[in-house]
Structure 1
Amino acid sequence: MLEAAELTFRIGDAHILNGIGFRVSPGEKVGIIGPNGSGKTTLFNCLSGFNLPTGGRISLHGRDITRATPSKRARLGLGRVFQNFGIFREMTVQENMLLALEATRAGSFFPWSAAHRRHQQEAFEYLDSVGLAEKAGDKAGSL
């Protein structure tokens, strides 16, 4: 279980995190949402050890990790994946392109939707324009 209690993070007089508390059980899925500048990245930085909180406590399976390094947290089972715009190696080349398109276009992720079908066609056209149409069905990791 990952738990944060009264977590705070300040930069000078700016309170970035102020008394954050939560508990996440193994297997539980949680989303952190909020507008730009609301402290989401700072929270993840504190949880993963890239920022040290100015107050509060973080524990993993009952063990205090508030001051643990990122590598120590990783050894204890708390990992972090940074945002990047890389590829999903096990998905096909076209699926990677489709995912990128659907993240930036209005429409639907539902495979039966007209928008999804349009995005599939658009993804294929982009691949064709850069000479990858014949690789559309290949795993992206094979390129």
Structure 2
Amino acid sequence: MRALIQRVTKAAVHVDGAEIGAIGQGLLILICAMEGDDAAKSKALAAKISKLRIFTDDAGKMNKSLVDIGGAALVVSQFTLAADTSRGNRPGFSAAAKPDIGRALYEHFIEDMSALGVPTATGSFGADMAVSLTNDGPVTIWLDV
């Protein structure tokens, strides 16, 4: 699975003008299930993200995890993270999991994050979403599992 995480002071997602998910301090997680991914990869990615020490401690060093600070996660499906731009000017997305598998793994990842004690808000799989955030740092990290 592939994720782009952004440390945020707040983030929200809207569909058709209505807010469907929002968080305060925590992580905006853009997530893409890749061809060949399974539930074990979802669980491993959730564990990695929840423990990643990218929040500052009292000394100003990135030493605390999402769990340590009691932060939340906003999880948004993002199949375009699978973009292949190696040929031409139009990206290809064949490396992304098929939609039914992608949806199942997206939902599994949300459950995995929640099971780790992380308050989790979500986008809407396959919807046209408007995502807003205040990037803290900025800290943005790409993860592949």
TM-score exceeds 0.5: no
Q: Which has the larger radius of gyration?
A: 1
Q: Which has the higher helix share?
A: 1
The TM-score bracket by the shorter chain reads under 0.3
**Taking CA–CA contacts closer than 8 Å with sequence separation of 6 or more, which of the two structures ends up with the larger relative contact order?**
2
